[in-house]
């Protein structure tokens, strides 16, 4: 079966040249420009101001060179609201982490008092800054750019995030600036980095968990449900393991409850699950496991994520652990393990990281073919295979693992039409028990022997 398990050598991606933060007053088109430069729809764009709240890190590639682009929320220093102040704080942190800052101004509106406040922050940071005159959609609007010279941050660059005008020239300039100020580059993520999507219904404590794991305010935490609207990636290094934590927006079970911004935020959460290796499904321990939590776990399974259930807010509950274990085993096909944690007290956080690493190791593991076929022989003896209408009985002949991350198996049988749904699930669960694959999505292809 070696020809079926052939591995292709992947060319390693080029190293990161640096980190670029994109900042500006609310609703000047930052997220539209980010989506244009990264050729993605990773940042939520909506006509409502203040849609972006956390800072979102994306990889931008241009002419074979890469850099990290950080989208931030709009900075409005005049707004005293706590959430707005938290957004401004996140933007300041992004500027501190960045090698280069892109300051976006709406050229059609001109320089506002809010723009001048942001410009003062950038001058005090002493970071290299490129001023972007956004929403210059045609050449007749280019005279609007001249007013932006009064910011005192260099010659403005006319661009249009909506139509893409000037985006190529801008990327050329960004690459040139990064090569000038950070010529040594930055290392890429290791191949064994564990991508962890943090999923759950609204307000179960996802952002609080990320902040507790990091030990700092990396994502905004608020009592308002739905604070997180983008999928946020954060790197956590622990010993020799690298975790990429992806905080996501809350997932609602019923589609009719999702409208506007919430709908697009949820799409980002689904995309985050699809690029993750492990999904943490957060459950509010005060409320126990509810139907919506089961639906979130199904999202993880359909995204081919290995699943670990996290009982959050454990310091505030008296829930029975055995009841949770039995419910998860009955209702969730992957039969995931679970860990109880408290973001407030720190209880269970180390055990959670250990559990993620162990689950990832099983997610990428390969079962030797001889060992797998010994297990198939035991399965044939443990349960009589199903038979067809004429008495012809299914025969499990041999098998091999044909993929990892997550595992996929190919079993050769005499007649795939004899495999019943019940028997297929039984074989899947037997593999989980025998090879420690609880929580791991197991795929089996029953094929006719050649």
Q: Which two tokens stand for residue 386?
A: 């199903």
Superfamily of domain 16-181: P-loop containing nucleotide triphosphate hydrolases (3.40.50.300)
Per this entry, what is the length of the chain?
450
pLDDT-derived band at 249, boundaries 50, 70, 90? low
pLDDT-derived band at 295, boundaries 50, 70, 90? confident
Flag whether pLDDT at 416 surpasses 80.
yes
Average pLDDT over residues 309-315: 88
Q: Which helix (H) or strand (E) holds 68?
A: strand 65-71
Average pLDDT over residues 407-428: 93
How is the chain split into domains, by residue range?
A: 16-181, 194-363, 369-448
- Of 256 and 439, more confident: 439
CB 346 within 8 A of CB 212: yes
Flag whether pLDDT at 70 surpasses 50.
yes
| Integer Cα distance of 298 and 304 in angstroms | 10
Q: How high is the pLDDT of residue 16?
A: 72
Q: Which of 3.30.300.20, 3.30.365.10, 3.40.50.10490, 3.20.20.80 would CATH assign to domain 369-448?
A: 3.30.300.20
| Integer Cα distance of 319 and 282 in angstroms | 15
CB 251 within 8 A of CB 295: yes
Flag whether pLDDT at 92 surpasses 80.
no
pLDDT-derived band at 89, boundaries 50, 70, 90? low
Q: In terms of CATH architecture, what is 194-363?
A: 3-Layer(aba) Sandwich (3.40)
Residue 159: count other Cβ atoms within 10 Å of its Cβ: 28
| Integer Cα distance of 420 and 344 in angstroms | 48
| Integer Cα distance of 341 and 168 in angstroms | 47
Q: How high is the pLDDT of residue 166?
A: 86
| Integer Cα distance of 188 and 191 in angstroms | 9
Flag whether pLDDT at 431 surpasses 60.
yes
Q: How high is the pLDDT of residue 308?
A: 93
16-181 and 369-448, same CATH topology? no
Of 271, 267, 264, 266, which is closest to residue 197 (Cα–Cα)? Answer: 271
Residue 273: count other Cβ atoms within 10 Å of its Cβ: 25
Q: Which of 82-86, 105-109, 332-336, 414-418 has the highest mean pLDDT?
A: 414-418
E runs forming strands in 239-305: 241-247, 278-284
pLDDT single digits (tens) 170-225: 999 999 998 888 655 555 667 788 999 888 888 888 888 888 888 865 544 334 33
Computed over every residue of the chain, the mean pLDDT equals 78
Dihedral over Cα of 140, 50, 44, 39: its sign: positive
H and E: helices and strands count for the chain:
11, 15
pLDDT-derived band at 15, boundaries 50, 70, 90? low
How would you class 429 by CB atoms within 10 Å of its CB: exposed for 0-12, middle for 13-18, buried for 19 or more?
middle
């Amino acid at each position: 079966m070696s020809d079926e398990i052939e591995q292709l050598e992947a060319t390693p991606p080029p190293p990161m040249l640096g980190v670029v933060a994109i900042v500006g007053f609310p609703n000047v088109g930052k997220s539209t420009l980010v989506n244009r430069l990264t050729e993605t729809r990773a940042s939520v764009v909506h006509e409502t101001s203040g849609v972006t709240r956390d800072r979102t890190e994306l990889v931008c590639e241009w002419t074979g060179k890469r850099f990290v682009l950080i989208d931030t929320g709009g900075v409005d220093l005049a707004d005293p609201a706590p959430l707005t102040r938290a957004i401004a704080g996140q933007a300041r942190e992004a500027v501190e982490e960045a090698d280069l800052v892109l300051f976006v101004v709406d050229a059609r509106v001109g320089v506002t008092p809010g723009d001048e406040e942001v410009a003062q922050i950038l001058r005090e940071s002493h970071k290299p800054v490129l001023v972007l005159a956004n929403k210059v959609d045609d050449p007749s609007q280019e005279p609007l750019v001249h007013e932006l010279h009064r910011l005192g941050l260099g010659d403005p660059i006319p661009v249009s995030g909506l139509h893409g005008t000037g985006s190529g020239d801008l990327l050329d300039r960004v690459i040139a600036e990064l090569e000038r100020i950070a010529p040594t580059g930055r290392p890429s993520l290791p191949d064994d980095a564990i991508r962890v999507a943090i999923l759950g219904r609204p307000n179960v404590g996802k952002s609080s968990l990320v902040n507790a794991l990091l030990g700092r305010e990396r994502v905004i935490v608020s009592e308002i449900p739905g604070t997180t609207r983008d999928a946020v990636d954060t790197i956590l290094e622990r010993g020799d393991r690298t975790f990429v934590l992806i905080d996501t927006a809350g997932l609602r079970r019923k589609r009719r409850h999702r409208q506007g911004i919430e709908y697009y935020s949820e799409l980002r959460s689904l995309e985050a699950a699809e690029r993750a290796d492990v999904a943490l499904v957060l459950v509010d321990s005060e409320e126990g496991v509810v139907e919506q939590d089961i639906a979130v776990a199904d999202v993880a399974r359909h995204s081919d994520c290995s699943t670990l259930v996290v009982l959050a807010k454990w310091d505030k509950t008296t829930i029975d652990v055995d009841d949770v274990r039995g419910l998860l085993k009955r209702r969730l096909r992957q039969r995931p393990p679970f860990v109880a944690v408290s973001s407030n007290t720190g209880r269970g956080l180390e055990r959670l990281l250990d559990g993620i690493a162990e689950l990832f190791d099983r997610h990428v593991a390969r079962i030797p073919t001889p060992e797998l076929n010994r297990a198939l022989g035991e399965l044939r003896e443990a349960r009589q295979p199903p038979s067809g209408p004429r008495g012809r009985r299914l025969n499990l002949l041999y098998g091999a693992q044909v993929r990892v991350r997550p595992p996929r198996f190919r079993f050769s049988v005499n007649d795939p039409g004899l495999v019943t749904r019940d028997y297929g699930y039984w074989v899947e669960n037997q593999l989980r028990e025998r090879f420690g694959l609880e929580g791991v999505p197991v795929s089996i292809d029953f094929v006719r022997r050649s």
